[in-house]
Amino acid sequence: MKMIWWLNVFAMLLAAGPSLALEVVSLAPTRGAPGTLVEVGGGPFSMATEVFLGEQYVPPLRVAEGSLEFTVPYLTPGNYLLTVQDGTEIAAQNYSFEVMAPTPQISGLDPQNLDVCRPGPEVPLQVAGRNFLAGAVVLIDDVVVPTTVVDDTRLEARLQGLRQPGVYGVKVRNPDGAASLPHSLWVDSIPEIISVEQGAEFVNYYEVVIHGKNFLAGSSLVVREPEDSTIGQAWRQFSFAARPDRGGFGGGNTIAPQRDRLVYVDCRTLIYYRYPNISQEKELELTVINPEGHKTDPYSVSLP
């Protein structure tokens, strides 16, 4: 009877097979910034398996018998010993993992577009993203601008200048030198007419005040108006190049030339001095064209 019992025990031991020791046979990748997904090969792993980088516990994201995955936590850049433990058993293999400095990334800018014509010498710029470290700075076309770090996902910068239209590259650089890929910031010079109103009236002319944005010195005004004709209504079109207002024309100046003119006041205001041939109102169509060719949509207004 005792012999049969020993045979059963022996059979159970044979069925169980040899006990497998916990081991790590691969690590991919062996270096990465915080957030990098890392796969550990080996095993046998279980839901009780723990991973450590140095003394930092790292919770596994996925565990299978022959592999597990984790993401690199935020640690000071450097080399860390990888330890895998299951209960009291620790894998004997030693692997080193290099934690790299996080690379900043920009996800958005506010504003994304600026007008050439804008108030004030400075523009606040909000930069959203991730991996912004204390001491990070914003660069515009590789030139550092004043920057405040709100947290690791948001920066506030103060832009000065940028009065030339075009596309500017915005980067974030951390104190360790790691820099993001450039993000585009657009400075637009496309003009827009917002409103038109009749201004002061004089003996034989009056002011047409054009309000808008992105008017440039040297802009032109194209005026299209109906003209009486025996064969039906025809249209005539004429244009004027803006001149700066130096106080020598308008405002009732009696020596003003007896012809229509356009005066540039600032990037938001143009004054069209109009000499109407009749006092009856007409449907005028006004278009402002900047020197580089950008123009407003036609703006209709009823004026003499």
pLDDT one-digit tens code per residue, 76-95: 899 999 999 999 999 998 89
Percentage of the chain surpassing pLDDT 70? 87
Nearest Cα to 166, choosing from 133, 190, 147, 144?
190
Domain end point (choices 53, 84, 99): 99
pLDDT of res. 277: 80
Q: What pLDDT is stored for residue 3 in this prediction?
A: 53
pLDDT at 105 over 90: yes
Domain boundary pick from 44, 77, 99:
99
Distance CA 77, CA 94 (A): 19
Are 20 and 74 within one domain? yes
Domain count of the fold of the chain: 3
Average predicted confidence (pLDDT) for the chain: 88
Q: Specify whether the CB–CB gap between 282 and 225 falls below 8 A.
A: yes
Query: How far apart (Å, rounded) are the C-alpha atoms in residues 226 and 242?
Result: 23
Q: Are 117 and 213 in contact (CB under 8 A)?
A: yes
Domain boundary among 58, 78, 99: 99
Q: Are both 88 and 110 inside the same structural domain?
A: no
Do residues 175 and 273 share a domain?
no
Query: Per-residue pLDDT for 9 more than 70?
Result: no
Q: Which long-range CB contacts under 8 A does 93-96 form with residues at least 24 apart?
A: 93/23, 93/24, 93/25, 93/42, 95/24, 95/27, 95/30, 96/30
Predicted confidence (pLDDT) at residue 6 exceeds the cutoff of 60: no
Interval 201-238: pLDDT, tens: 998 999 999 999 999 888 999 999 887 654 556 778 88
pLDDT higher than threshold 90 for residue 11: no
- 253 and 286 in a single domain? The answer is yes
Token pair, residue 221, equals: 């005004």
For residues 209 and 163, membership in a common domain is answered with no
- The reply to whether 296 and 209 lie within a common domain is yes
What are 116-127's pLDDT values in tens digits? Answer: 888 878 899 999
141 and 90 part of one domain: no
Q: How far is Cα 114 from Cα 82, in angstroms, rounded to an integer?
A: 49
Question: Which two tokens mark 148?
Answer: 């405040």
Contact 235, 224 (CB under 8 A): yes
pTM for this one? 0.67
Confidence band (pLDDT; 50, 70, 90) for 13? very low
The answer on 181 and 202 residing in a single domain is: no
Domain co-membership, 6 together with 85:
yes
Task: Tell me: do 182 and 215 sit in the same domain.
Answer: no
Q: 291 and 207 in one domain?
A: yes
Grouping H, G, I as helix, E, B as strand and the rest as coil, residue 126 is strand
Which band of pLDDT confidence, cut at 50, 70 and 90, is reported for residue 278?
confident
Pair 82, 122 in one domain = no
pLDDT at site 269 = 95
Range of the domain at 138: 105-188
Task: Identify the band that residue 248 occupies on the pLDDT scale cut at 50, 70 and 90.
Answer: very low
The enclosing domain of 170 has a CATH number of 2.60.40.10
Give per-residue pLDDT as tens, 151-196: 999 999 999 888 888 999 999 999 989 999 999 999 998 999 999 9
